[in-house]
Structure 1
Amino acid sequence: MKKITKWLQQAFITITVLVVAGLGMTQVAHADDGLQKIKKAGVMKVAISPDYPPYEFQMNKNGTSTDVGMDVDIIKQIAKDLGVKLEIKNMDFSSVLVAVQTGKVDMAIGGINPTDERRQSVDFSKIYYNGGQSFLISKTNASKYKNASDLQGTKIGAQTGTLQYDLAQQKISGATVVGMDKTPNLIFALKTNKVAAVGVEKPVAQAYVANDKDLKMIDSGYKLDINQTGAAIAFAKGNPELVAAVNKSIDKIENHGWIKTYLKNAGKNMSENTVDTSMLRYWHYFYSGFLNTTLIAFVSVAFGIILGIILALMKMSKFKILSWPAISYIEIVRGTPMMVQILLVYFGLGALINIPALTAGIIAVSLNSGAYVAEIIRGGITSLDKGQKEAAKSLGLNQKDTMRFVILPQAFKNIWPALGNEFISVIKESSIVSIIGVTDLVYELNIVRADTYRGIAPIVVVMVIYFLMTFILTRGLNYLEGKMNHD
C-alpha cells in the first residue's frame, strides 16, 4: 500500500509539472508575437462574460442571441482597425483571465480592473472607461441605508474575484462580504434580504435601477486610484506590439467620443430586452441549453462506459503494470472535484492543443464518469459466482471469450440500476461545464437572468427541464431493467 501511495504521489507531481511546463511554454510562445499571430490568422479572439450589462450582455432579437454592450462595440472597433475578423468566446468572468494566460484567446474584456495583483499575471491596455463604484440596495431599505457609511457591520454581496469584493472588505468597517460568481445571483440575494447591498460598478448599478423598480443605487464614497479602478483590456504577458495597437484604437475611440454612443446603444438594447421578459420569449435559449446538456450526458456516459470497462479490467489484472495506473487514475479522479478537472482539460490540456469548450467539457465529463463506472463494473464482476468462470472454462472458452460472453453480460444485468444512477448524475453534474462557456442549461439560465433582470422565473424553468429529463430517463431505465429481469 505504501508503494502505491508513493506511486500516486509521483504520478500527481509528474502531471502537475507537465501542466505547468505546458502553460509556461504556451506563454513563452505567445510572447512578442500576439499582433503578428492575429494578423496572420485574420481573426482576433476575445473572451467576455456576457452577463454584465451595460458592458456586455446578450440581446434577444427575433429569436437570435447576439452579444452586445459597450465592450462589444469597443472590440468590434479594435478588430476593424486591425483589419481582422472578431471571434467572441463566452465564458464565466472567473475564467477570462485564465483564457488569456493559456492562449485560448488573444485578449479579454469585461469591466476588468487592472489591479496590481492582476498585473503580475497579465498585461493591460490603457484605461478606456471609469464609471466609478456604487452599491445597489433594496428600495424598501432606502431610509435605512442612505449612504455607504450606513452599511458598516452589514452583509455586502460582490462578485468573487473582483475589485468590488476587495473594496468592500477594505473600505466598509465590520462588513461581512459574501462572494458569488454571478451578478444576477447577487441581485437575487439582495431581493431576498440575504445581503444588505451589492457592490458593483456605477454603470451596472444604473442599468439595474433603470430596469428594476425594486432597486436603488447609492454612491460608494470610495476614494480610489483611477489607474486601478477603471476598465482595461487584458493580454498575455509580453505582447507590447499588440498592447500598443489596441491602445491606438482606444485613443481613436476616445477622440471621437464613441464611448457615449456605445453606452447609449447598450441602453437601447437593454430596454428592448426588457419589453417582454416572459420565459416563452426565451424558449430557444433553454432549447439550445437542453440540446447541449443532452449531448454532453449521452456522449460522456457512452465513452465513460467504454473507459470504465477498460479501467475495471486493468484494475483487476494480476499485472501491476496494468493495475497500478488504473488504481491511480480512479483515485485521482474520484478524489478531485469535477470543476477542477474541467478547468485542467480546457486550460491545461488546451494550452498544448486548442480544444473547443464543448469538446473539452465532453472529454472532462467522460474521464470523470469513466472512473466511477469502473468501480461499478468491477463490483458487478466480483459479485458473480466463481462457478461462472469454471463453467465457461469447462466449455472450452478462453479467458477473453469468458469475459465477453459470460461475465460482462451478467455483470451489466446486475449493475444496470447503478449505471442508470450514474447517467442521471452526469446529466445534473455536467452543469459545471458552464464555467468554461459551454452553453448548457445552467449557462443559458444565467444569460436569461442577466437579460431579463428576473431572478426566479428562469430558475424554475430550468428546474422543470432537468426534472423532466431525469424523470423520463428514469422511467426508460426502469422499463429496460424490467425487460432484462424478465428475460
Structure 2
Amino acid sequence: MKKAIKWLKAALVMLVTLTMLVNCVSGVQAAQAPQATDNYLKKVKQKGELIMGTSPDFPPYEFVKNINGKSKVLGMDIEVGKKIAHDMGVKLVVKTMDFDSLLVALETGKIDMVIAGMSASPKRAKSVAFSQVYYASGQDLIIRKADAKKYHDYHSFAGKTIAAQTGSLQSDLIKKQAPKATLKTMDKDSDLILALQTHKFDAVAVDSASADAYVKNTTGIINIPSGFKDKSVGSAIAFHKGAQSLVNAANKSIDEIKAKNLIKKQYLPAAGKYLATAGKSKKAAKVDNSMWAYKDFFVAGVGYTLFISAISVFFGFLLGAILALMRLGRNKIAHSIATAYIEFVRGTPLMVQLLFIYFGLGLVVNIPALLSGIIAVSLNSASYVAEVIRSGINSIAPGQTEASRSLGMSRTETMRYVIMPQAMKNIWPALGNEFVSLIKESSIVSVIGVKDLIYQSRIVQADTYRGVMPLVITMILYFIITFGLSSLMKVFEGKMKHE
C-alpha cells in the first residue's frame, strides 16, 4: 500500500511538472507569435495578391534592371517577398516609390507590406508592425578613391559633410553619433553617389551590402567602415499596425529562409549576377550600359508625360474657364468659392497637393497613382488658367459689352460671341506658357511611382550607375517636347492675329 502511495505521489509530481513546462512553453510561444484576430491575411488571400512597396535604388536589396527592353525590379528583398507571397498562396505585386513615402503608403492602405532594407527601429514600430529580422548587415561610408588616406571612419569627418537617404537609419546614426559632421539627405541613393562623385558631399552612409554593390559597379569610389554603433537588429518587413495575421505568416516564411540559409545561398548570388559588371568585357559592359540600350525606357517615359500633360491641359483649361466665369459673375457664393479655390491652390505646393490626393484621399477611396497625378496636375493648372482667362476678359473694353447689350444680345451671347473671341487673342501667349509649364511640372508625379520621363531616367541611373548622361537625355527630350508645343502655339497665335 505504501509503495502504491509513493508511486501515486511521484506520478502527481511529474504531472504537475509537465503541466508547468507546457504552460511555460506555450507562454513563450504566445509572446513570440501573438494570436492574430484580424482579417488582413484573409483579405490578401481573397484578392489573390500581396502588394509589396519598395524603393528600387538600393542594390543588392532592390534595384531595376533592363531585361529584353523592359524594366524589372530585382534583388534580395524581391525574392523574400516572392517567398512570403508563395507561402500565402497569392501573387506578389511590386509597387515602387520614394523610400520616405513607403510607410505613408502602408498606413493609407496603398500597399500590404514594405520590404526595402528597412530597419525595425523603435520609432517606426510605433506606427507599423514589424516582422522578425530577415537579414542583418553593417554600415559603411562610401568615399572618393582619391580621399582614401584622409578618412578612416565617421570620426574623420568633423567639419565635413556626410550624406544619407532621407528617412533612413543612416541619417539617424549621423545625427546622433556624428554631430560634428554636417548631414545632407536626398531621396535616392543613386543621386547621393552622383553628388559624391561631383564633390557635393565628402561621404555617403549606406548599408554595407549596398555599399559593396555600388563600389563594384562604379569607378572612383571605395567603401570604408563607418564606425557607427548600430543598435538596430537588422532589416525587417513592415506591415500595417494591427496586421498580426500577416506578420505571423511572414515570420513562418522567414523562419524557413533562415533555416535553409536562402539569402546567402540563393537570393544574394542571384542579385549579384544581375549587378556584376566586372566579369564582362569592357565592350559588353559599354553596350549594356549605353543609353541606346534604354531607348524603350525613355520612349515609355515620353509617352506617359505626354499622356498626363494632354489630359491635364484639357481638364485644366475646362475647369479654369468655369472658375474664371464664376469669379467674374454676380453670384456671391460662386464668386467666393472660385476665389477661395484659386488662392488656396496657388498658395500650396503642387507636391503637397499630389501627396494629399494620393495618400490623404487614399484613406477614403483608393485612387491609382496615374489617376492621382492627372487629378493633381489638372486641379493645380486650373487655378492658373482661371486667372489668365479672367485677366483676358477684363482686358476687353466695357464698351464692347454695352454695344452688344444695346443690340439685344443676352449676357451669355455677349460673352460667347463678342468677349471670349477677343479675350482668347489676348490670353493665347499666356496660355501657351502655362501649358509648357504644365509639361515640366508634371514630372512631380514620379514621386508616387508614375512612370513618366523623370521616373524612367532615375531607373536608368540606378541600373547603369551613370548619373549624368540619363539627365542629359531627359533634358533634351523635355526641350524637344516643350519647344514643339511652343512652336505650335505660335502658329495658332499668328493665325489669330491675321484674323
1:412 aligns with 2:424: yes
In the alignment, which residue of structure 2 is the partner of 1:246?
Answer: 250
AA matched with 1:444: Q
Deviation of 1:477 after TM superposition, in Å, equals: 0.8
In the alignment, which residue of structure 1 is the partner of 2:320?
Answer: 308
Q: 1:256 aligns with which of 247, 260, 263?
A: 260
AA matched with 1:133: Q
Deviation of 1:149 after TM superposition, in Å, equals: 2.2
1:233 aligns with 2:245: no
Q: 1:62 aligns with which of 68, 90, 98?
A: 68
Can you list the C-alpha shifts for 1:282-317, whole angstroms capped at 9, x where unaligned? Answer: 111111111111111111111000000111111112
1:129 aligns with 2:141: no
Deviation of 1:32 after TM superposition, in Å, equals: 2.3
Superposed CA RMSD? 1.4
Deviation of 1:173 after TM superposition, in Å, equals: 4.1
Contact 2:173 2:230 in 1 (8 A): no
Q: 1:148 aligns with which of 140, 148, 154?
A: 154
In the alignment, which residue of structure 2 is the partner of 1:17?
Answer: none
CA distance in structure 2 between the aligned counterparts of 1:392 and 1:48, rounded to whole angstroms: 61
CA distance in structure 1 between the aligned counterparts of 2:92 and 2:179, rounded to whole angstroms: 44
In the alignment, which residue of structure 2 is the partner of 1:266?
Answer: 271
Q: State the secondary structure of the residue aligned to 1:226.
A: coil
CA distance in structure 2 between the aligned counterparts of 1:123 and 1:335, rounded to whole angstroms: 37
CA distance in structure 2 between the aligned counterparts of 1:448 and 1:45, rounded to whole angstroms: 24
Contact 1:123 1:237 in 2 (8 A): yes
CA distance in structure 1 between the aligned counterparts of 2:403 and 2:115, rounded to whole angstroms: 66
TM-score, normalised by the number of residues in structure 2: 0.89
Can you list the C-alpha shifts for 1:164-199, whole angstroms capped at 9, x where unaligned? Answer: 111112212410011111111111111111111000
AA matched with 2:113: M
CA distance in structure 1 between the aligned counterparts of 2:128 and 2:343, rounded to whole angstroms: 35
Q: 1:454 aligns with which of 466, 471, 478?
A: 466
Q: 2:372 aligns with which of 331, 339, 360?
A: 360
In the alignment, which residue of structure 2 is the partner of 1:93?
Answer: 99
Deviation of 1:152 after TM superposition, in Å, equals: 2.4
In the alignment, which residue of structure 2 is the partner of 1:15?
Answer: none
Deviation of 1:479 after TM superposition, in Å, equals: 1.1
AA matched with 1:470: T
Please list every run of 5 or more consecutive structure 2 residues that lacks an aligned counterpart in the other structure. Answer: 1-36
Greater Rg by CA: 2
CA distance in structure 1 between the aligned counterparts of 2:202 and 2:369, rounded to whole angstroms: 36
CA distance in structure 2 between the aligned counterparts of 1:310 and 1:184, rounded to whole angstroms: 44
1:329 aligns with 2:341: yes
Contact 1:153 1:173 in 2 (8 A): no
Can you list the C-alpha shifts for 1:48-69, whole angstroms capped at 9, x where unaligned? Answer: 1111111111111111111110
1:223 aligns with 2:235: no
CA distance in structure 2 between the aligned counterparts of 1:398 and 1:422, rounded to whole angstroms: 31
In the alignment, which residue of structure 1 is the partner of 2:56?
Answer: 50
Can you list the C-alpha shifts for 1:392-450, whole angstroms capped at 9, x where unaligned? Answer: 22232211222222222221121000000000101111111111000111111111111
In the alignment, which residue of structure 2 is the partner of 1:486?
Answer: 498
Contact 1:148 1:218 in 2 (8 A): no
CA distance in structure 1 between the aligned counterparts of 2:293 and 2:40, rounded to whole angstroms: 41
CA distance in structure 2 between the aligned counterparts of 1:213 and 1:92, rounded to whole angstroms: 26
Contact 1:124 1:232 in 2 (8 A): yes
CA distance in structure 2 between the aligned counterparts of 1:314 and 1:101, rounded to whole angstroms: 38
In the alignment, which residue of structure 1 is the partner of 2:302?
Answer: 290
Q: State the secondary structure of the residue aligned to 1:66.
A: strand
Contact 2:113 2:239 in 1 (8 A): yes
Can you list the C-alpha shifts for 1:102-150, whole angstroms capped at 9, x where unaligned? Answer: 0011111111112122112111111111111110000010011133321
Q: Which moved more, 1:311-320 or 1:74-83?
A: 311-320
In the alignment, which residue of structure 2 is the partner of 1:278?
Answer: 290
Identity %: 52
Deviation of 1:388 after TM superposition, in Å, equals: 1.6
CA distance in structure 2 between the aligned counterparts of 1:337 and 1:170, rounded to whole angstroms: 31
CA distance in structure 2 between the aligned counterparts of 1:119 and 1:333, rounded to whole angstroms: 35
Deviation of 1:335 after TM superposition, in Å, equals: 0.4
CA distance in structure 2 between the aligned counterparts of 1:404 and 1:46, rounded to whole angstroms: 52
AA matched with 1:266: A
Q: Which stretches of structure 1, 4 residues or longer, exceed 4 Å deviation after superposition?
A: none
Contact 2:461 2:467 in 1 (8 A): yes
1:401 aligns with 2:413: yes
AA matched with 2:48: G
1:428 aligns with 2:434: no
TM-score, normalised by the number of residues in structure 1: 0.91
Contact 2:313 2:435 in 1 (8 A): yes
Deviation of 1:250 after TM superposition, in Å, equals: 1.0
CA distance in structure 2 between the aligned counterparts of 1:103 and 1:265, rounded to whole angstroms: 31
In the alignment, which residue of structure 1 is the partner of 2:83?
Answer: 77
Contact 2:121 2:232 in 1 (8 A): no
Q: 1:200 aligns with which of 191, 195, 206?
A: 206
Contact 1:111 1:231 in 2 (8 A): yes
Q: State the secondary structure of the residue aligned to 1:112.
A: coil
AA matched with 2:446: S
Contact 2:120 2:232 in 1 (8 A): no
AA matched with 2:178: I
In the alignment, which residue of structure 2 is the partner of 1:14?
Answer: none
In the alignment, which residue of structure 1 is the partner of 2:353?
Answer: 341
Q: State the secondary structure of the residue aligned to 1:303.
A: helix
CA distance in structure 1 between the aligned counterparts of 2:321 and 2:179, rounded to whole angstroms: 57
Can you list the C-alpha shifts for 1:458-480, whole angstroms capped at 9, x where unaligned? Answer: 11110111111111111111111
CA distance in structure 2 between the aligned counterparts of 1:164 and 1:102, rounded to whole angstroms: 25
Can you list the C-alpha shifts for 1:214-263, whole angstroms capped at 9, x where unaligned? Answer: 11000111222233xx1111111111111111111111111111111111
CA distance in structure 1 between the aligned counterparts of 2:68 and 2:166, rounded to whole angstroms: 34
Q: Which moved more, 1:154-163 or 1:395-404?
A: 395-404
Can you list the C-alpha shifts for 1:335-384, whole angstroms capped at 9, x where unaligned? Answer: 00000000001011122111110110000000000011000010011111
Contact 2:113 2:240 in 1 (8 A): yes
CA distance in structure 1 between the aligned counterparts of 2:69 and 2:215, rounded to whole angstroms: 26
Deviation of 1:271 after TM superposition, in Å, equals: 2.3
AA matched with 1:300: S
